[in-house]
């Protein structure tokens, strides 16, 4: 993993291999969905290395001891609907007790600006580490809006996880929210005129859910 201030870029060959499978237009919905989940798990392993733990007493076959466990009460995953949903199961495989919030956003096809249609977050949220998931960080409009909502609801410690990011989106998110730690699987070249990531993988929501 490469780190530049609050930007963490994945370099692990397993993650890069799986991203290549996602890019292939011949990868079908079943496989695409499974690979998104696997990448989320691998990225989650990196992104959750500072997850808070608490000491509990456990009795081993030899003696009692105090030993750390992860508390789901201190962690929440918040997918941006729809495509971010595809990453949730990968994170929950790592932290089954995590709370799950949802933020519904869609991009206007002409302006490319995000519109909110749903927001439900775990309450209270202020003490939790929050990981926002969305496979695509394109213009960054959706990411900035999602982090704005979470902060308006009191969220403070926020990480954002995205599988493919455009340089424009990375800049926009980290300029608007320099305190957010951003984890990306790969940084792609640029956005096209329709604000799609190039080379990217197409429309992540459609490919995960088999729409279109």
Q: Which residues of this chain interact with ligand URA, rule CB under 6 A?
A: 83, 136, 138, 196-197, 200, 203-205
Separation in Å, CA 184 to CA 15, 53, 56, 133, 181: 10, 24, 33, 10, 10
* Rounded least distance, CB 171 to ligand URA, Å: 16
* Rounded least distance, CB 166 to ligand URA, Å: 8
What's the DSSP call for residue 55?
Answer: E
Residue 112 within binding range of ligand PRP, rule CB under 6 A: yes
Residue 139 within binding range of ligand PRP, rule CB under 6 A: yes
Number of residues forming the site for ligand PRP (CB under 6 A): 23
* Rounded least distance, CB 200 to ligand URA, Å: 4
- The Cβ of residue 7 has, within 10 Å, a number of other Cβ atoms equal to 18
Q: Which of 86, 90, 101, 114 binds ligand PRP (CB under 6 A)?
A: 114
| Catalytic residue set | 107, 111, 203, 206
Q: Which residues pair with 67 in a beta bridge?
A: 56
| Beta-sheet strands, E only, within the chain | 2-4, 7-9, 53-59, 64-70, 75-81, 99-100, 102-107, 114-120, 129-133, 136-137, 157-165, 181-187, 190-191, 197-198
Residue nearest to ligand PRP (CB): 205
- Give the 3-state secondary structure of 117-143: EEEECCCCCCCCEEEEECCEECCCHHH
- Determine the interface stretch with ligand PRP among 19-27, 80-88, 94-102, 119-127 (rule: CB under 6 A): 80-88
* Rounded least distance, CB 105 to ligand URA, Å: 11
Reading the block at residue 43, the tokens are 């990225």
Binding to ligand PRP in span 149-208, by CB under 6 A: 169, 195, 203-205
Residues that bind ligand PRP (CB under 6 A): 80-83, 105-107, 112, 114, 134, 136-143, 169, 195, 203-205
């Amino acid at each position: 993993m490469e780190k530049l201030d609050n930007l963490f870029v994945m370099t692990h060959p397993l993650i890069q291999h799986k991203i290549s499978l996602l890019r292939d237009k011949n990868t079908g919905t079943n496989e695409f969905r499974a690979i998104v989940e696997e990448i989320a798990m691998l990225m989650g392993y990196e992104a959750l290395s500072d997850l808070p733990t608490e000491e509990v007493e456990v009795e081993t076959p030899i003696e009692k001891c105090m030993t750390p466990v992860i508390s789901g009460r201190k962690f929440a995953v918040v997918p941006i609907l729809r495509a971010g949903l595809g990453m949730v199961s990968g994170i929950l495989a790592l932290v089954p007790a995590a709370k799950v919030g949802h933020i519904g956003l869609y991009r206007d096809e002409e302006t490319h600006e995000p519109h909110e249609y749903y927001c439900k977050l775990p309450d209270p949220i202020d003490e939790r580490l929050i990981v926002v998931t969305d496979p695509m960080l394109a213009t960054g409009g959706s990411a900035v809006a999602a982090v704005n909502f979470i902060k308006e609801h009191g969220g403070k410690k926020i990480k954002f996880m995205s599988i493919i990011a455009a340089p424009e989106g990375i800049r926009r998110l980290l300029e608007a929210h320099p305190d957010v730690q951003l984890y990306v699987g790969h940084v792609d070249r640029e956005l096209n005129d329709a604000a799609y990531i190039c080379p990217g993988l197409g429309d992540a929501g459609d490919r995960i859910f088999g729409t279109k």
